[in-house]
Amino acid sequence: MKMSTEDRLALQELNYSYAYFIDSLEPDNWANIFTPDGVLDESAFFPDALFEGRDAIRAYGETIRGNVAMMVHLMTNHIIRDLTPTTATATSFALVETMRKNGERLRFHVKYEDEYLKIGDSWKIARKTLRKSFTHENVVGAE
């Protein structure tokens, strides 16, 4: 199926919104870009980091907001495929810089594997799985 320009732009915007809302420490907006039963799987990075459903994702976002002073995701190489009228998959990469409130600064290299679902006229993230592309770096230790 040929992807419409509107679908391509909507999926790219969804990918960027994922980064923007968590970087802005907005857990409600971050959770709302997922489907109601959406899954965020960060278990490759952190034990017990599999979050199922918006409430769990929102709660995780609140935890991040409580621990993080600043964060930035530099998203790149967003490749969309397997498009149907209501589903798509994609991969992308990110360099993620995090400054925790305790002064610790971490850098993560992430590969995202995404599954999208179109609900009505809106695309949502059904599943986002994070994979390591490099081992994380502890740039500055905790104070």
The string of DSSP codes covering 49-97 is -EEESHHHHHHHHHHHHHHEEEEEEEEEEEEEES--SSEEEEEEEEEEE
Mean pLDDT of 56-67: 97
Distance CA 74, CA 62 (A): 21
Task: Note the pTM of the prediction, 2 decimals.
Answer: 0.91
Q: Where are the domains of the chain?
A: 5-140
Mean pLDDT of 54-75: 97
pLDDT in tens, 74-123: 999 999 999 899 999 999 999 999 999 999 999 999 999 999 999 999 99
DSSP 3: P
Angle at 94 between CA 92 and CA 96, to 5 degrees: 155
pLDDT above 90 (res 129): yes
Its CATH architecture, for the domain 5-140, is Roll (3.10)
The proportion of the chain whose per-residue pLDDT surpasses 90, expressed as a percent, equals: 82
Tokens of 93: 């990469």
pLDDT above 80 (res 2): no
So what's the pLDDT on residue 76?
A: 95
CA 97 from chain centre, in angstroms, equals 14
pLDDT in tens, 39-56: 999 999 888 999 999 999
Centre a 10 Å sphere on the Cβ of residue 51 and count the other Cβ atoms it contains. Answer: 22
Distance CA 129, CA 113 (A): 5
So what's the pLDDT on residue 143?
A: 59
So what's the pLDDT on residue 1?
A: 65
